[in-house]
Amino acid sequence: MSTETAPIAANFLRTIVEEDLKSGKHQTIVTRFPPEPNGYLHIGHAKSICINFGLARDFGGRCHLRFDDTNPVKEEMEYIESIKESVTWLGFDWGKHLYYASDYFEQLYQWAEFLIQQGKAYVEELTADEIRAHRGTLTEAGRESPWRNRPVEENLELFRRMRAGEFPDGARVLRAKIDMASPNINLRDPVLYRILHAPHPHVGDAWKIYPMYDFAHGQSDAIEGITHSICTLEFEDHKPLYEWFLDNLPVPARPRQYEFARLNLTYTVMSKRKLHELVTSRTVSGWDDPRMPTLMGIRRRGYTPEAVRAFCELIGVGRSDSWIDMSIMEECVRSDLNERAPRAMAVLRPLKVVITNYPEGQVEQFEAANHPQRPEMGSRMVSFSREIYIEEDDFMEEPPKGFFRLAPGVEVRLRYAYIVRCTGVVKDANGNVVEMHCEYDPASRGGSAADGRKIKGTIHWVSTSHCVDTEVRLFDRLFNDPNPDRGGADYRQFLNPRSVEVLPAAKLEASLAGADPESRFQFERQGYFHSDPVDSTPGKPVFNRIVTLKDTWTKK
């Protein structure tokens, strides 16, 4: 469990747990995070992780990590390892409580036979399409299968032959015998087992039949002694089925299901299918693309686990679906990085400046604070020379009113160094400014004018002979519409064509040459940046923009 002490914010789940512990209904709380290992986790899963592990942490209980691995066709060990890594990255620890639904396959099978013996399950020979047609609609009752009233002995024999692998995929299924006229379609004789001749990533080739998720889920909770089975509202209609299994099987415990609203985040999609489409169509570079809402993606972009946990705490836990604006999550990471990220200077779109009255060959060192509000973070030295780079947009030949950066005849302060005045420009054949000439005030070392004149503008810079050439990637939101899924529209039409801009010739101050992979900095006046853990190499980091210094979308 994370050692971080988090404040206990009021919500209906915490109230339920408090009352259950106070009344003596439970002596301790046991929750679980039960992902299906058929894909990578996204930010919506982070909310569930924080709820389940957070409740257990705050109330002195425990939280299990359990893989509900009931479909070997879609599950892979790669997903299992990625999920474990993501939960750990978020700061949570399941300790010795790592489980798999497949660990319970034998017990689940025995319970399936128990239902057959009780006359509450039968082997079905209708095809999947026929079963669907028999199930009815929301307004029409279903029709009973012609195989619904098979003798118990025949059902047992067929089910055992299914387990032995005697039938091909799809030839038969096992169904619960509940109520084909129930207004809840989930209770209209749901499928419990299907035949799948496929190896399982955790148990290998031991099984030829596999339980359905709904059959395995609640019983796995019961086996593990889960007290509070917490899931999203989409499972609310499945709750009667969850309870029917517990009522009709000799389970060792009686968990209770509670539902909360899932996380709906603007400017993104959360559907596994759609995220998979983005990857396979190469719209993004992979599951860890920094524009993706996957935990792998936001981690590679540079989000901190502390910021993600703070976001999940801030949005709270409710029972009504709502949309959370992306700007809230971005503000959480800004707030976190503002406190912890050391500062540095980086010129992303360089324009060369020659300080014509500065001695050729001279180099000076200036001390720069690593964090203006945290002296304990120390300082570093930055080199200054006759030729420097500044940002292209820090100069305008014909500036508008209120432009306090460089222009012909205008003075600015170079951060940590001197005051300079623009004296001229060099242009290429197309009339573009490719070089500026300035003069510096030798008496203004440190940025203060000796005669007390006021300098309105301060800009950042790097020395041309003491900088690091690198690639910087400016990531933005993947979609330019807050709800790309709205109204059944094709979400791909809302892809943001400017969701990434690659700057191959950025210039960084020399101190960043040795930046460790996954280190984070505030590039002064630019935003927060992260050394890419995949593409950075020793001495040549590649930086991803995590987030801008301010919300740039509120004016769009």
Spatial distance between the Cα atoms of 369 and 345, rounded to a whole number of angstroms: 11
Tokens 């990533």 sit at which residue?
A: 201
Burial 519-553 (b: 16+ CB within 10 A, else e): bbbbbbebbbbbbbbeebeeeebbbbbbbeeebeb
Structure tokens at 260: 């909360």
For residue 360, what is the DSSP state? T
Spatial distance between the Cα atoms of 358 and 160, rounded to a whole number of angstroms: 90
CA atoms within 13 A on the CB side of 137: 2
From the candidates 36, 331, 391, 524, give the one annotated as an active-site residue.
36
One-character DSSP codes across 198-241: --BTTTBTS-SEEE-HHHHHHHHHHHHT-SEEEEEGGGGGGHHH
List 458's β-bridge partners, or say none: 413
Spatial distance between the Cα atoms of 193 and 112, rounded to a whole number of angstroms: 9
36 is a catalytic site residue: yes
Q: How far is CA 118 from the centre of its chain?
A: 45
Nearest to 330 by CA among 363, 302, 355, 349: 302
Structure tokens at 520: 């984070």
| Cβ–Cβ < 8 Å for 518, 544 | no
List 260's β-bridge partners, or say none: 232
Residue 21 DSSP SS3: helix
401 is a catalytic site residue: no
From the candidates 74, 120, 262, 340, give the one annotated as an active-site residue.
262
Question: How close are the terminal C-alpha atoms of the chain, in Å?
Answer: 41
Spatial distance between the Cα atoms of 272 and 268, rounded to a whole number of angstroms: 12
Q: At 529, which helix (H) or strand (E)?
A: strand 527-531
| Cβ–Cβ < 8 Å for 278, 495 | no
Q: At 49, which helix (H) or strand (E)?
A: helix 43-58
262 is a catalytic site residue: yes
Angle at the Cα of 94 (from 90 to 95), degrees rounded to 5?
125
| Cβ–Cβ < 8 Å for 40, 298 | no
Q: At 353, which helix (H) or strand (E)?
A: strand 350-355
Q: Which residues contact 56 (CB under 8 A, 6 or more apart)?
A: 1, 29, 30, 31, 62, 63
From the candidates 84, 148, 161, 272, give the one annotated as an active-site residue.
272
| Cβ–Cβ < 8 Å for 123, 148 | no
| Cβ–Cβ < 8 Å for 542, 536 | yes
Spatial distance between the Cα atoms of 311 and 209, rounded to a whole number of angstroms: 41
Residue 366 DSSP SS3: strand
Structure tokens at 190: 């749901």
Catalytic residues: 36, 262, 272
